Amino acid sequence: MSSRNATSAALSSHTVHRRVSSAYRTPVPSSPFEADPVTQPTPPLIPSSRRWKARSRNLINELTSLDSDVLALQEVDQYEEFWQPWLVERGYDGVYKCRTQMTKSKKDGCGLFFKRDKFELLARRDIEYNDIAVDRPVGYVPPQGTTEPTGAPVDADGELNKYVRDCVGVLALLRSKTATDRYVMVASTHLFWDPKYADVKLAQARRLLGEVELFLESNSLGSSVPVIVAGDYNSTPGSEVHSTMLCGFGGKQLRSAYATAMGQGLVRESNEGSVNVGQQGEPAHTNVTPGFTDCIDYVFVNDGVAVRSAEPLPGKEAVAAGLPDATRGSDHLPLTVDLELWSH
């Protein structure tokens, strides 16, 4: 996800426009065929657009063109080697949470990055969805001086607990540098992928909302503070996860920024055609691969955030061959919205 200025005008202390892009995955694929070619089978041909050299170039071009105030990214690996130096050079600070890796999962994670001339970081909170497996309370922090067990929790029958999926999220409390009494809470998350485990994803979504609510309370902030919760939810519109996120927390509902923009005609025009409106008013697709095409990525906001516009998503014909392609480096489309904060 990313956020950038909607206008180049000076920011006031009461009304600030931000562009937010979300659910933007930046994986660095590691090929099993990079070892000794004598002992490995002949690798299948990978289209040049899907090789990392081309993908990284396209990702950088896309993120540069967005020039966002805030970026929320998922499936970020090669963070220290590749992404952190590039983001620092581009004027970003941020927070990053790597997967727990209790299982043999990929070494990637979720990140939140913000323009250092616009925001400062006041607090962060990492979310370990594996904590659900051992009934740790929301807001759990290991006691100081203790060592956390490294083995994955198992059930009574010795099988790996189904809630151990190494999925993570990260929360950040930011303060405006132009109006130091103005705050915004932003989250980036990545929920489990497998459709057979809808209950696992639902538990993760509920955990996420609980963590957001406690994070605000622990920083003595009320529900009127702007909240942006974005990521790859691996859940389609109308699913229990989607409905749960819209229910929000603390008696306050959330709404989908893109569904709001599409419903109010706030999506900018594009020469590529525009994505159709799908279920629940969401985009018809945000993830496009040969085996799956649907909307699974969202930017949720509370009443402290006004949606002013959204960048168009390409129509199905423009991405019919699947993603990534010759110009797009991710298999997910970036959700980019202009948001007005502190308008009340």
**CATH number, domain at 71?**
3.60.10.10
**Long-range contacts, stretch 249-252, CB < 8 angstroms, 24+ apart:** 249/209, 249/210, 249/212, 249/213, 250/213, 250/223, 251/223, 252/223, 252/302, 252/303
Residue 155 counted as domain residue: no
Residue-level pLDDT at 11: 24
Closest by Cα among 140, 141, 138, 230 to 184: 230
Residue-level pLDDT at 40: 46
Residue 179 counted as domain residue: yes
| Over residues 108-119, mean pLDDT | 97
Written as six digits, the tokens of 338 are 């202009």
- pLDDT above 90 covers a percentage of the chain that reads 68
Residue 335 counted as domain residue: yes
Number of domains, the chain: 1
Q: Are strands 227-232 and 183-190 parallel, antiparallel or unpaired?
A: parallel
Domain span holding position 192 = 2-27+44-141+160-341
Residue 99 counted as domain residue: yes
Transcribe 114-178 into DSSP letters: EETTTEEEEEEEEEEGGGGGGTPPTT--PPTT-----SPPB-TTSPBPTT----EEEEEEEEESS
**31 has pLDDT over 50:** no
Residue 71 counted as domain residue: yes
Residue 32 counted as domain residue: no
Q: Are 16 and 40 in contact, with CB atoms under 8 Å apart?
A: no
**103 has pLDDT over 50:** yes
pTM of the model: 0.87
Spatial neighbors of 136 by CB under 8 A, at least 6 apart, are: none
Residue-level pLDDT at 343: 67
